[in-house]
Amino acid sequence: MMDMIKAKLMMDMIKDNDFIKDPNIPGPTKEEIRCLVICKSQVTRKDTVVEVGCGTGGLTTEFAKRAREVYAIDKNQQALKITRKNLEKQGLLDNVRLIEGNAPQILGEIPEYDILMIGGSSGELPAIIREGSKKLKENGRIIVTSILLETRAEAVSTMKQMGLSPDVVDVSISKGRIMERGTMMTALNPVAIISVQKK
Ligand code: SAH
C-alpha cells in the first residue's frame, strides 16, 4: 500500500495554476514539459540535483519531490523568493538549498551531483555545461531546456565537442479549453529538451 502511495506521488505533477507567479520572473515550465524533463532525468530518491536558473521553481518543486536533495541556483534574488514561496506552498522546502549566484562560477562551490538541470544560461551555456560536468558523477545526466533557437544549437555543439551524443527533443504542446461550442485548442511555445548521460 505504501509503495502504491509513493508511486502515485512520483507520477503526480503540480498543476500550472497552482504555482504562485511573479510577473517579472519566467516560468513555471508547463506541466507536460515538466513531465518530460523528469522522465529524461531518470531522477530517483538517491540523486542530488543541481539546477541552474530556477526561475519560478517549476522544475525545482518537481525535482524536490523526487530527489534526495536539490541545489537551486539563480542570479536573480526575486526568482529565489518566488521559488521559495512555491516550495513552501507544496511543503517541499526541506531538501532544497536556494543559492543566489551566477553560473558557471557558483558551480565550483557545490559538492558532486547526479543531475545538472540547466533552465537559464544568459549566453554562458557552453561554460555552464563544461564547468558543470566536472562535478557530475559518472552516469550523471545533464538536461537543458531551451526556448531560444541559439540555445539548442549551443547545447548540442558543446556536448558533441565533449564527445557526448545528446538526445534532442523539440516539444510543441497544444492544450484544449472546454467551451460550450467545442474544445478550443491553444498552442504553447515550443521547447527543446536536450539531455545526455556522462559516460
Ligand atoms: N525552469 C524555470 C524557469 C527558468 S527561467 C521554471 O520552471 O520556473 C530562467 C532563469 O534562469 C531566470 O530566473 C534567470 O535569472 C536564470 N539565469 C539565467 N542565466 C543564469 C546564470 N548564468 N546563472 C544563474 N541563473 C541564471
What pLDDT shows up at residue 7?
Answer: 56
> Please, what is the average pLDDT of the chain?
95
Handedness of CA 29, 70, 21, 100 (dihedral sign): negative
Q: What is the pLDDT of residue 94?
A: 96
Is the pLDDT confidence value at 4 over 80?
Answer: no
Q: Which atom of ligand 1 is nearest to the CA of 34?
A: 7
Structure confidence at residue 11 (pLDDT): 73
Q: Which of these, 143, 139, 86, lies nearest to 120 by C-alpha position?
A: 143
Pocket test for ligand 1, best of 71, 76, 92, 147 (most atoms within 8 A of CB): 76
Residue 59 beta carbon below 6 angstroms from any ligand 1 atom: yes
Which amino acid is located at 169 in the chain? V
For residue 146 and ligand 1, the question of a CB distance below 6 A is answered with: no
Expressed in angstroms and rounded, the spacing between residue 120 Cα and the centre of ligand 1 is 4
130 has a pLDDT exceeding 60: yes
Our answer on whether the CB atom of 132 is closer than 6 Å to any ligand 1 atom is: no
Atom of ligand 1 nearest to the CA of 145: 1
Rounded to whole angstroms, the Cα distance separating 15 from 191 reads 18
pLDDT of residue 9: 62
Contact 83 CB / ligand 1 (< 6 Å): no
Ligand 1 pocket test: pick from 74, 84, 107 the residue with the most ligand atoms within 8 Å of its Cβ.
74
On the question of pLDDT at 8 being above 80, the answer is no
pLDDT digits (tens, 9 = 90+) for 97-116: 999 999 999 999 999 999 99
Q: Which of 13, 17, 15, 20 is nearest to 85 (CA)?
A: 20
Q: Whose CA is nearest to atom 2 of ligand 1?
A: 55
Digit-coded pLDDT (tens) for 32-68: 999 999 999 999 999 999 999 999 999 999 999 999 9
pTM greater than 0.75 (yes/no): yes
Looking at residue 180, which CATH number applies to its domain?
A: 3.40.50.150
- Residue 2's pLDDT is 60
Crossing angle for the helix pair 149-161 and 125-134, nearest 10 degrees? 40
* CA-closest residue to ligand 1 atom 16: 53
| H helical segments located in 67-135 | 77-90, 125-134
Nearest CA to ligand 1 atom 1: 119
What does the pLDDT read at residue 118?
Answer: 98
Which structural domain range is residue 32 located in? Answer: 2-197
Q: Stretch 110-123: mean pLDDT, rounded?
A: 97
Q: How many domains does the chain have?
A: 1
* pLDDT at 27 exceeding the cut of 80: yes
> Would you place residue 5 in the very low, low, confident or very high pLDDT band (cuts 50, 70, 90)?
low
Q: How far is the centre of ligand 1, averaged over its atoms, from the C-alpha of 199 (Å)?
A: 27
Above pLDDT 70, what percent of the chain?
95
